[in-house]
Amino acid sequence: MWTRASLWLRGVAPALGRQLGSWRLSVVLTVTVAFFYAHLAIFSRNSPSEMVRNIAALVVFWAIYGALLVNTAACLWLRFPTLKRELAAHPHLVATPPSWEVPLVVNDAVATEALRRRGFSVEGQGPGQLLGVRHRFASLGTWFFHGSFFVVAAGFLTTLAFREEYRLLIAVGEEFTGAPEQIVSRQGSGLVTLGLPDLRFTHERITPRFHEGQLLFTHLDSVVRLEGQAPVEAEINKPVWLSPATSLRLTGFGYAPRYELRVSGGPVVGSSFLKLRVFPPGVEDVFRPEGYPHRVSLQVLPDLVEEGGVPSTRSLNLVRPGFLVRVMRARVDLGQRLLRGGDDPFLFEGLELRFPEVQYWGEFVVLRDPGAPILLAGFLMALVGLGLKLRGRRQEVEWSAARGTLRGWGGEPPRDLSQGGA
């Protein structure tokens, strides 16, 4: 039985290989991919990108990506013998009929120089005869380009399996130590968990700048000092690289007001910085002073102005903060007030609530993505491959003084040579 199966496989395998590696199949698959993506583009008019991403992850897409990779692999495998011939340093086609022939009546030295100038690697075959080869690495370009599909696919799959991100809110002056309470959230594939990399840093500064008071960031730079290293700048589009696969990214910012609670006319009974989501102005967040049953709702107006008794903010810059405060105890509303600056207290039930200072906090993401460098390598490989192809396919020439012609295999005759110049 095994002998029969082996014979059958030997008979069928080449035909199957040819089918799998055929250019017709690759055309069918790429056109199918284009149509699938056209559907995605149409979907994206009405659906958020997360939903489009989910549609793109349907099994039918995976089947087509897989089929494309199989097709490319089979195609490259079938053409491997051709690659070896194309890369040969010496001309080997001279025994076959040339694809073109142009007159070239010159002497050896002029012919050698003319061919070298046009990129041919020239070798003499005795007086009055030269052989030349150029663009011999063009086929390697095809291999690089199509081979890059596998590297890119490996990159995406590695990302899918290993990508993890840890979201942190770190106030200015605060040190990140990796303590669990400093990690706001973790996102990952769930397939493999490598954990948060060993990282400690201090957030030294963050500077937001806006366009004409609009909610339009023109800059958001922060300075962090990694443990034992000099301070480095992180921008929203310029992460700090911790390793080729791990980066510390700045992704946002907000206000961290410090509340101070004291017994009226007495000592401070509670004080702490609060990393609240109160940016942009108008957004309200809530906190509970430690050890007290009260619930405080807060809005921060960073550049307070009052027009006709209505508080608003002149700009988004933290210049003269005002605080819109409402205090509740269970369902009892204890009132709402605008605090004009850090010394202005809100009085309730024998307590004074103030916000003497406001810091910025930065939102950072520690991103571990081992697929990213692989993906980058795949992209570079694709570009190098296409670059090698751009100069044209392998070309061989033979110049003969006796015939007074230049014969060529592959491509067109060099344009100026074909017009009789050298």
Partner 1 sequence: MSTAAILFRVLLGVSAGLGLLGLVAWRSHERPWAQRVFNAAGAVPTVLGLAAFAARWAEAGHLPLFGVYEAALSLSLVVVATAWGFELRSRSTLGVAPVGAVLSALSLWHGLRYDATPSALTISERSLVMDGHAVVAWAAFGVLAVNAGLSAIILWRPEGERVSAKLVPTLELGFFLHTAMLVSGSLYRFLLFGRAWSFDPIETLGFITWTAYGTLLHMHFFAHWRGRRLAAWSLGLFLLLVVSYRGIVTWPSWSTYHVFDIGLREHLR
Question: Which of 20, 206, 220, 406 is in the footprint of partner 1 by CB under 8 A?
Answer: 220
- Residue 186 in contact with partner 1, rule: CB under 8 A: no
For the bound state, the minimum distance from the C-beta of residue 35 to partner 1, rounded and expressed in Å, comes to 9
Q: How many residues bind partner 1 (CB under 8 A)?
A: 51
Q: If you compute the radius of gyration of the chain from its CA atoms, what whole number of angstroms results?
A: 35
- Residue 249 in contact with partner 1, rule: CB under 8 A: yes
Own/partner long-range contacts of 239-247 (Cβ < 8 Å, ≥24 apart): 239/367, 242/197, 242/199, 242/366, 243/197, 244/372, 244/373, 245/368, 245/369, 245/370, 245/372, 245/373, 246/197, 246/366, 246/367, 246/368, 246/369, 247/366, 247/367
Between residues 32 and 297, which has the closer beta carbon with respect to partner 1?
32
Amino acid symbol at 374:
I
Prior bond of 103 cis (ω within 30°): no
- Residue with tokens 């073109």, as numbered in its chain: 100
Question: Which of 65, 100, 150, 217 is in the footprint of partner 1 by CB under 8 A?
Answer: 217
- Residue 315 in contact with partner 1, rule: CB under 8 A: no
| Tokens describing residue 283 | 């957004």
- Interface pattern 338-367 for partner 1 (x via CB under 8 A): ---------------------------x-x
346 closest CA partner among 328, 319, 369: 328
- Interface pattern 9-48 for partner 1 (x via CB under 8 A): --------------x--xx--xx-xx--xx-xx--xx--x
For the bound state, the minimum distance from the C-beta of residue 317 to partner 1, rounded and expressed in Å, comes to 15
d(CA 249, CA 369): 12
- Residue 330 in contact with partner 1, rule: CB under 8 A: no
Question: Helix and strand tally (H, E) in the chain?
Answer: 9, 22
Q: Are 404 and 414 in contact (CB under 8 A)?
A: no
Between residues 285 and 369, which has the closer beta carbon with respect to partner 1?
369
Chain residues binding partner 1 by CB under 8 A are 23, 26-27, 30-31, 33-34, 37-38, 40-41, 44-45, 48-49, 52-53, 56, 155-156, 159, 165, 211-212, 214, 216-220, 235-239, 247, 249, 365, 367, 369, 372, 375-376, 379, 382-383, 386-387, 389-390, 412
